[in-house]
Structure 1
Amino acid sequence: MKKRLALAAVAGLALAASIVVTAWPAQAAVGLRISGGKLVEANGTPFIMRGVNHAHTWYQSQTATSLANIKAAGANSVRVVLASGQRWTKNDTSDVANVISQCKANKLICILEVHDTTGYGEQSGAATLSQAVDYWISVQSALTGQENYVILNIGNEPYGNQGYGTWASDNVTAVQRLRNAGFQHTIMIDAPNWGQDWSFTMRDNASTVWNADTQKNLLFSIHMYGVFDTAAEVSDYLNRFVSAGLPIAVGEFGDMHSDGNPDEDAILSTTQALGLGYLGWSWSGNGGGVEYLDMVTNFSTTFTSWGNRLFNGTNGIKATAKEATIYGGVQPTSAVVTTRGATTRPPTSAVVTSRPPTSAVVSSRPPTSSVVTTRPPTSGPTGTKSCTATYSIVGSWPGGFQGNVKVTAGSSAISGWTVTWTFANGQTVTQSWSSTITTSGATVTAKNAAWNGSLGAGGSTEFGFIGSWTGSNTAPTASCTAA
Structure 2
Amino acid sequence: MALAAAAAGAVVAVTLTAGTADAGTGTGYLHTSGNKIVDSTGATVRLTGINWFGMETDNHTFHGLWAGRPATWTQQIDHMAQLGFNTIRVPYTGDSLRAGATATSVNTDTNPELVGLSPLQILDKVVNYAGSKGMRIILDRHRPTAAGQTPLWYTAAASEASEIADWQSLASRYANNPTVIGADLFNEPHADGTDPNGTGSCWGCGDTTKDWRLAAERIGNAVLQTNSNWLIFVEGVSCDGNGGSPNVYDNIPDDPMACDWWGGNLSKAGTYPVRLNVANRLVYSAHDYGISVYDRQPWFKDPNFPNNLPDVWDHFWGYLYKQNIAPVLVGEFGSTLQNPLDTQWLTKLMQYMGQGTNGISFTYWSWNPDSGDTGGIVSDDWNTVNQAKMNIIGPYLNPPVGGGGPTSQGPTSPSPSRSVSTSPSPSRSASSSPPPANGACSATYEVTSSWPGSPGGFQTTVTVKAGTSAISKWTIKWTFANGQTITQLWNGTLTTSGSAVTVTNTAYNGTIPANGSTSFGFTGTWTGTNAVPTLTCTA
- TM-score range, shorter-chain basis? 0.5 to 0.7
Structure 1 residue 95 and structure 2 residue 122: aligned? yes
Residues 127, 137 of structure 2: 8 Å contact kept: yes
1:215 & 1:152 partners in 2: Cα distance? 15
Counterpart amino acid of residue 226 in structure 2: A
Residues 308, 339 of structure 1: 8 Å contact kept: no
Residues 53, 80 of structure 1: 8 Å contact kept: yes
Structure 1 residue 181 and structure 2 residue 226: aligned? yes
5+ long unaligned stretches in structure 1: 9-28, 342-483
SS in 2 for 1:114: strand
1:216 & 1:207 partners in 2: Cα distance? 18
Structure 1 residue 38 and structure 2 residue 46: aligned? no
Query: Taking structure 1 as reference, are residues 257 and 160 closer, same or farther at Cα in structure 2, changes over 3 Å only?
Result: farther
2:79 & 2:263 partners in 1: Cα distance? 37
The two structures, once aligned, show a CA RMSD in angstroms of 4.1
Pick the aligned partner of 2:201 from 164, 172, 194: 164
Query: Taking structure 1 as reference, are residues 246 and 221 closer, same or farther at Cα in structure 2, changes over 3 Å only?
Result: same
Deviations 1:387-414 (A, max 9, x none): xxxxxxxxxxxxxxxxxxxxxxxxxxxx
Residues 52, 283 of structure 1: 8 Å contact kept: yes
Deviation for aligned residue 1:66 = 1.7
Deviation for aligned residue 1:240 = 0.9
Query: Taking structure 1 as reference, are residues 139 and 238 closer, same or farther at Cα in structure 2, changes over 3 Å only?
Result: closer
The TM-score normalised by the length of structure 2 is 0.50
Partner of 2:477: none
Partner of 1:348: none
Partner of 2:280: 216
2:493 & 2:332 partners in 1: Cα distance? 23
Deviation for aligned residue 1:69 = 0.7
Partner of 2:289: 225
Deviations 1:364-420 (A, max 9, x none): xxxxxxxxxxxxxxxxxxxxxxxxxxxxxxxxxxxxxxxxxxxxxxxxxxxxxxxxx
* 217-226 vs 92-101, greater mean Cα deviation: 92-101
Residues 151, 200 of structure 2: 8 Å contact kept: yes
2:336 & 2:379 partners in 1: Cα distance? 17
Partner of 1:138: 169
Give the 5 Å matches for 1:378-393.
Answer: none
Counterpart amino acid of residue 332 in structure 2: E
Structure 1 residue 247 and structure 2 residue 327: aligned? yes
Deviation for aligned residue 1:311 = 4.2
SS in 2 for 1:213: coil
Pick the aligned partner of 2:490 from 323, 331, 337: 337
Partner of 1:352: none
Pick the aligned partner of 1:151 from 152, 173, 182: 182
Partner of 2:368: 284
Residues 111, 150 of structure 1: 8 Å contact kept: yes
5+ long unaligned stretches in structure 2: 8-26, 56-61, 66-71, 103-117, 193-198, 203-210, 240-258, 291-296, 301-308, 407-460, 465-487, 495-539
Residues 233, 283 of structure 2: 8 Å contact kept: yes
Residues 303, 340 of structure 1: 8 Å contact kept: no
Residues 52, 89 of structure 2: 8 Å contact kept: yes
Residues 353, 360 of structure 2: 8 Å contact kept: yes
Structure 1 residue 120 and structure 2 residue 156: aligned? no
Give the 5 Å matches for 1:201-212.
Answer: 202-205=266-269, 208-212=272-276
Partner of 1:105: 132
Pick the aligned partner of 2:354 from 263, 272, 278: 272
Counterpart amino acid of residue 164 in structure 1: S
The alignment of Structure 1 onto Structure 2 pairs a total of residues equal to 312
Deviation for aligned residue 1:214 = 2.4
Pick the aligned partner of 2:376 from 269, 294, 310: 294
Residues 140, 183 of structure 2: 8 Å contact kept: yes
Residues 128, 179 of structure 2: 8 Å contact kept: no
Query: Taking structure 1 as reference, are residues 299 and 106 closer, same or farther at Cα in structure 2, changes over 3 Å only?
Result: farther
Query: Taking structure 1 as reference, are residues 247 and 298 closer, same or farther at Cα in structure 2, changes over 3 Å only?
Result: same
Give the 5 Å matches for 1:437-452.
Answer: none
1:135 & 1:39 partners in 2: Cα distance? 25
Deviation for aligned residue 1:316 = 3.2
Deviation for aligned residue 1:300 = 3.1
2:156 & 2:74 partners in 1: Cα distance? 30
Counterpart amino acid of residue 116 in structure 1: R
Deviation for aligned residue 1:303 = 1.4
Deviations 1:324-369 (A, max 9, x none): 99679xx99469526899xxxxxxxxxxxxxxxxxxxxxxxxxxxx
Deviation for aligned residue 1:158 = 3.2
Pick the aligned partner of 1:49 from 47, 64, 68: 47
Percent identity of equivalent pairs: 16
Counterpart amino acid of residue 99 in structure 1: V
Query: Taking structure 1 as reference, are residues 77 and 304 closer, same or farther at Cα in structure 2, changes over 3 Å only?
Result: same
Deviation for aligned residue 1:125 = 8.1
Query: Taking structure 1 as reference, are residues 306 and 114 closer, same or farther at Cα in structure 2, changes over 3 Å only?
Result: farther
Residues 83, 491 of structure 2: 8 Å contact kept: no
Which of the pair is proportionally richer in helix?
1
Partner of 1:77: 87
Structure 1 residue 316 and structure 2 residue 380: aligned? no
Partner of 2:417: none
Give the 5 Å matches for 1:400-479.
Answer: none
2:391 & 2:217 partners in 1: Cα distance? 37
Deviation for aligned residue 1:284 = 1.7
Query: Taking structure 1 as reference, are residues 212 and 185 closer, same or farther at Cα in structure 2, changes over 3 Å only?
Result: closer
SS in 1 for 2:29: coil
Deviation for aligned residue 1:128 = 5.6
Query: Taking structure 1 as reference, are residues 167 and 55 closer, same or farther at Cα in structure 2, changes over 3 Å only?
Result: same
Residues 83, 114 of structure 1: 8 Å contact kept: yes
2:6 & 2:324 partners in 1: Cα distance? 24
Query: Taking structure 1 as reference, are residues 326 and 241 closer, same or farther at Cα in structure 2, changes over 3 Å only?
Result: farther
SS in 2 for 1:155: coil
Counterpart amino acid of residue 43 in structure 2: T
* 241-250 vs 216-225, greater mean Cα deviation: 241-250
Counterpart amino acid of residue 166 in structure 2: Y
Deviations 1:395-449 (A, max 9, x none): xxxxxxxxxxxxxxxxxxxxxxxxxxxxxxxxxxxxxxxxxxxxxxxxxxxxxxx
Deviation for aligned residue 1:285 = 3.6
Return the index of the structure with the highest Cα Rg. Answer: 2
Deviations 1:62-116 (A, max 9, x none): 5433211100111111112222118995875433322211211222111111221
* 81-90 vs 142-151, greater mean Cα deviation: 81-90
SS in 1 for 2:368: coil
Deviation for aligned residue 1:119 = 3.8
Residues 187, 219 of structure 1: 8 Å contact kept: yes
1:188 & 1:92 partners in 2: Cα distance? 23
* 97-106 vs 80-89, greater mean Cα deviation: 80-89
Query: Taking structure 1 as reference, are residues 204 and 71 closer, same or farther at Cα in structure 2, changes over 3 Å only?
Result: same
Structure 1 residue 65 and structure 2 residue 75: aligned? yes
The TM-score normalised by the length of structure 1 is 0.55
Give the 5 Å matches for 1:186-201.
Answer: 186-193=231-238, 196=260
Residues 190, 222 of structure 1: 8 Å contact kept: yes
Deviation for aligned residue 1:48 = 0.6
